[in-house]
Amino acid sequence: MPANLTPDYKRAEERYRQALTPEDKLAALDEMMATIPKHKGTEKMQADIKRRIAKLKDEQEKHPSKKRAFYIVEREGAGQIALVGPANTGKSRLLASVSNAEPEVAPYPFTTQVPQPGMVKFENVQIQVLDLPPLDPALSPPWLMGVIKSVDGVVLCFDLGSDDLLDQVETTFRMFEEANLQMVPAKGERGHRAKSAFIAATKADAPGASDRLDMLCDACPKDLHILPVSAEAGMNLENLRREVYELLGCIRVYTKAPGQKVDYSSPFVIRRGTTLLEGAAIVHKDFADKLKYARVWGSKTFDGQMVQRDYVLQDGDIVEFHV
């Protein structure tokens, strides 16, 4: 059965071939595992990726001096997003306010020592969000940038209640530059070295926050959207969930059997730009091989329109596969 590998998978595979360090290899393998179509035609490839990941982990355990040079968090949900920022910017409290996570929240720096995952729900989609240790030139763990490079998107957190706001911004973007890592808008060109990102301006209810927000807008790259939020006041938390979803670069597609109703509670969450044939392989391992035609109800079609295999699926499409 054909593998029908997606462009995202092929890019991740190329990054693996070019990787020189265990950190970069694991990040690329993790992305390969996340983007490979899950069907019978790729079962051997999936097993090989898992074997290579296990081998790199075993090598880490055999060399204690290199232990924790990298860190892998098992993926759950539709994608993996990281909360990134300096110490005491409110990342842990923010995660606790929008997810099921219960990270330790304290008024002193470096409370978070390892990645703390939580599941954030946006409408009918579950997204894994990681609270990471703070960015600090001297104190950040060596694996931190590797985790940031492996996720699907980044929420940059800066503190509107801090007089050190501009220093936070300068230090953060300097560390990204030194790590050869770029933050780009949600609809920008993403990759291992370019992460889809937006800025969460935390503690937006703090005294003087409005003036500091103007300073933040002047100091940050103009193409990165800035969303003022407050976990304490519940400000813009639903907008935060929406923007986290947008970072994934995904769409929701629904399927139905002929003559049946649509189940809107369980969409297939797939990469934007996926074709009908690629989507068929994701929905069922045999669909891509046996597909005769499909009907689509969506924003770019009339109801029940027959479409070709190269039709690009749109967010909210309802697809009726005929095999």
Tokens 């079962």 map to which residue?
A: 43
Instruction: Supply the pLDDT for residue 103.
Output: 60
- Residue 270 placed within a domain: yes
- Judged against a pLDDT cut of 60, whether residue 230 lies above it is answered with yes
pLDDT, tens digit, 9 for 90 and up, residues 262-302? 989 889 999 999 999 999 988 887 788 888 889 999 988 89
Q: Are residues 311 and 237 in the same domain?
A: no
Q: Are residues 105 and 213 in the same domain?
A: yes
What dihedral do alpha carbons 250, 94, 86, 198 form, nearest 10°? 30
At CA 220, angle to CA 129 and CA 69, rounded to 5? 45
Instruction: Supply the pLDDT for residue 234.
Output: 95
As a whole number, mean pLDDT of residues 158-185 equals 95
pLDDT, tens digit, 9 for 90 and up, residues 20-73? 677 778 878 888 888 888 777 888 898 999 888 888 877 766 655 444 456 778
- The whole-angstrom separation of Cα 214 and Cα 203 is 14
As a whole number, mean pLDDT of residues 90-105 equals 83
Q: Are residues 166 and 214 in the same domain?
A: yes
User: 16-20, 53-57, 251-255 — which is least confidently predicted?
Assistant: 16-20
The bridge status of strand 318-322 relative to strand 116-122 is unpaired
Q: Are residues 174 and 243 in the same domain?
A: yes
Domain membership of residue 142 as a residue range: 80-247
* Total of domains in the chain: 3
DSSP code per residue over 229-284: -BTTTTBTHHHHHHHHHHHTTEEEEEE--TT----TTS-EEEETT-BHHHHHHHH-
Q: Are residues 46 and 88 in the same domain?
A: no
- The whole-angstrom separation of Cα 307 and Cα 231 is 45
The enclosing H or E element of 319 equals: strand 318-322
- Judged against a pLDDT cut of 80, whether residue 241 lies above it is answered with yes
Q: Are residues 192 and 205 in the same domain?
A: yes
Instruction: Supply the pLDDT for residue 291.
Output: 87
Q: Are residues 144 and 289 in the same domain?
A: no
pTM confidence score: 0.76
Q: Are residues 254 and 239 in the same domain?
A: no
